[in-house]
Amino acid sequence: MTRVVYYCASTLDGYVAAADDTIEWLTGYSGTYAGAGAEPMEGSYERFYDGIGSLVMGSATYEFVLEHGRGWPYAGKPCWVLTSRDLAIPEGDDVDVRLESSAVSDLYDELAAAARPRDVWVVGGGNVASQFADDGLLDELRVHVVPVVLGHGKPLFDRALPGTPMQLAGVVPRDNGMVELIYEIERAST
């Protein structure tokens, strides 16, 4: 079954970006952990990404990726950008970026069909993840907690999540000092 997964990194105090949308707290982080059960951070993103069939993100995340990346990093996979603005789309034969202003509930069937048999990745940010949660369409949260405290910034979610509490499905200590928390979210029956 195709699932919708919010996969990201967050500070210890729950922010996915600084107030100015920067992520130096993540890219500049350096740590180690050699305790029991530590798994390598290297390769964890690639293993996750192999299970992704389509992506969705907000315009701030999209613009950050375009500004700070070296080419389009999601070539070969369709990506929806939730925006009401006309944004530039990167060139390339393998680039499939779709600008969309519809509600996530209206896009879900298209996102899931494009992803099958893999999952849909909610790349960011907190508002987009909150929209999926509001509509009961978020199945899993996978967050790498980075031991950094910002005090303020862009939150993991924009608002309280409706419905039943998340259920812890896994805790993975990483050899760089981060901890991956995996939560399953039960969809309300319709």
- Annotated domain spans of the chain: 4-184
Decide: pTM greater than 0.75.
yes
pLDDT of residue 187: 81
Between CA 104 and CA 76 the distance in angstroms is: 22
Are 109 and 127 contacting, i.e. CB atoms less than 8 angstroms apart?
A: no
pLDDT of residue 186: 87
Between CA 170 and CA 42 the distance in angstroms is: 18
pLDDT of residue 164: 74
Q: In CATH, what class is 4-184?
A: alpha beta
Residue type, 101: S
pLDDT of residue 188: 66
Task: Say if residue 162 is preceded by a cis peptide, omega within 30 of 0.
Answer: no
What is the chain's pLDDT, residue by residue, as a tens digit (190 residues)?
Answer: 899 999 999 999 999 999 998 999 999 999 999 999 999 999 999 999 999 999 999 999 999 999 988 889 999 999 999 999 999 999 998 999 999 999 999 999 999 999 999 999 999 889 999 999 999 999 999 999 999 999 999 999 999 988 778 999 999 999 999 999 999 998 865 4
Tokens 């999540």 correspond to 161
- In SS3 terms, 115-132 reads as HCCCEEEEEECHHHHHHH
pLDDT of residue 184: 97
